[in-house]
Amino acid sequence: MHTAFQLRESHFRVDVGDGPGTYRDLFPGWNSRDRVGLIVDSPIGGIGASLIVQLSVVAHFAHDPARIGRNYPDLFVFHIGDFHGSHSPFDAFPPRKEVVLPNDPALILEAINDRGISRLLVVDGPAEPVRHHLREPEAAQESIKNVFAYSPRGQVAEADVSVTGLADSVKENPAIIVDPDGTADLLRRLVARLHANTTRPDGQLYVAPRADGPSSDVRAAVGARRIATVGSDSPRETYRRVPLADALGMLHCRL
């Protein structure tokens, strides 16, 4: 839960449609029961949605400040086809919140519904005809309030939403995901800050993320492509709001 002490609403600029906005415009009606789901189908692909994901973490703690130091954000990462590298630096934690699923849209939607996801991020691409299990789309309609398409590179076509990072803090967690070994000192500082602000009876506040997944070379290439697209000083990611009906055909890897 280091993000509670790391990120602030002022660290982000939000543009929705034709004008400026806030996380409340991105996530209208946000409440204490909201849960964010991030679909990932490529090596550390979720860094392309790093800013909107981290802004959802801000919303989690801003809505109920009593959560600070008490619990983790309700953020779930759905790895499609394989484990694509830990996204726990976004506070997708404990490990049960990183779910590996087969490339089957019906099973993916079941997992989303099982976890009560209300804000969904899907990988940009064409919606394809798929078959879901009986009443699962209707269940999704009951719980999912809005859906965003994102790209692992950080920019989508026909975007109608953008988030820009205004502080170094918004770059720290993506950097840890891209290069967990090279950013070990940064991670230690973040964990130390967490320990300074929080106590647990057993003294344990942090567990190292899974070390498997993409190689360091693959991670570096993905990170470099994203920076080339979104920039390094004030990174700007774009997204597109999509209807849930389209999102139901965008949950799987398109091979």
pLDDT digits (tens, 9 = 90+) for 72-101: 999 999 999 999 999 999 999 999 999 999
Question: Which helix (H) or strand (E) element contains residue 111?
Answer: helix 105-114
**φ, ψ dihedrals at 89, nearest 5°:** -60, -20
Q: What is the DSSP letter of 146?
A: E
Q: What is the DSSP letter of 163?
A: E
Residues 49 and 174: their CA atoms lie apart, in Å, by 10
Residues 113 and 120: their CA atoms lie apart, in Å, by 11
The predicted structure's pLDDT at residue 33: 95
The two beta strands, 146-150 and 98-101, are unpaired
Contact 7, 159 (CB under 8 A): no
* Nearest C-alpha neighbor of 2 from the set 189, 204, 200, 211: 189
The predicted structure's pLDDT at residue 245: 97
Residues whose CB falls within 8 Å of the CB of residue 187, separated by 6 or more in sequence, listed in order: 89, 176, 180
pLDDT in tens, 20-57: 999 999 999 999 999 999 999 999 999 999 999 999 99
Whether omega before 180 lies within 30 degrees of 0, making that bond cis, reads no
pTM, two decimal places: 0.94
The predicted structure's pLDDT at residue 231: 95
For the chain, which ranges sit under pLDDT 50?
none
Edge-to-edge strand list for the sheet holding 36-40? 19-21, 12-16, 161-165, 236-242, 146-150, 119-123, 36-40, 75-80, 98-101
The predicted structure's pLDDT at residue 211: 74
Residues 47-57 as b or e (16 or more Cβ within 10 Å = b) = bbbbbbbbbbb
